[in-house]
Structure 1
Amino acid sequence: MITKRPLVSVVDDDESVRESLPDLLKEFGLSVQTFSSGEEFLASQYVSETACLILDVAMPGMSGPAVQQELLQRQKKIPIVFITAQECEAIRPQLLERGATECLSKPFSDTALREAINAALGTK
């Protein structure tokens, strides 16, 4: 029996993140789609299929928190793991209050990412 692997969508304007994260996520047993902007993700067919969203905080155009807000307005409850090159602690409480699962500062460990995704998906 083939079980469908959960889809994790990665939204980050940094091309190196979009190139490196999919390999790691596939090692975790997940399906992956990448997007270079929040607008690209929100316009895609993958919004309704996404089981977990890895979302950069600061991007040109629509920021990660703006994408989170748009998803809330659309009533799409997708667990979000925020990632940021900046210090996470200043914005972390606000992001978690709005429903994010975690906020990780780059560079983050594979273990920290795996734990955050597992928490988002409700798995161990």
Structure 2
Amino acid sequence: MDATPPSPPAPAREATPVIAVVDDDQGIRTALHSLLRSVGYRVRVFADAPSFLAEAARERPDCLVTDIQMPGMGGLELQRAVRARYPGLPVIIITAFPEEAIREQALADGALHFFAKPFETAAMLRCLADAVGSAG
């Protein structure tokens, strides 16, 4: 009687990427949460930058999507704080006020992409796929 060799172990499944969304607009947070979950990401939403920074200290996301204009700490300041604490964390900027000088500053500070609201869903999803593919 021939013994059947044991099956090789299943390959380890990569963890589902976590996307953090920081925006003071509840509608944007809700829409992005729904969109990103629908394509398989885990999503954490935050109404302000300090809340995100406190959570990121416990569980670092794989990508950050942040608005520029928020009360208190704005998106550019948040991006700088993220660069100092988590240098490899991809950052995607979204804004309803796409001024060229702000766009240039965000990109110079390391933003992966700069989207004007409303943005094209497919473009955002492509950018996120690139971001989490390079996260680590």
TM-score (ref. length: structure 2): 0.81
- Counterparts in 2 of 1:11-90, with a 5 A limit? 11-45=22-56, 48-90=59-101
Q: State the structure with more CA Rg.
A: 2
- Larger deviation: 22-31 or 11-20? 22-31
Is contact 1:11-1:36 (8 Å) kept?
yes
Structure 1 residues 117, 96: CA separation in 2 closer, same or farther (over 3 Å shift)?
same
**CA RMSD of superposed structures (Å):** 1.8
What whole-Å deviation, never above 9, does each CA across 1:52-111 have from its counterpart, x for those lacking one? 100001100000110111122224421011000112533222211211100100001111
After TM superposition, what 4+ stretches of structure 1 lie above 6 angstroms from structure 2?
A: none
Unmatched runs of 5 consecutive residues or more in structure 1: none
Unmatched runs of 5 consecutive residues or more in structure 2: 1-11
Q: How many residue pairs end up in the alignment?
A: 123
CA distance in 2, matches of 1:80, 1:11: 11
CA distance in 2, matches of 1:30, 1:76: 22
Q: Which has the higher helix share?
A: 2
1:102 and 2:105 are equivalent in the alignment: no
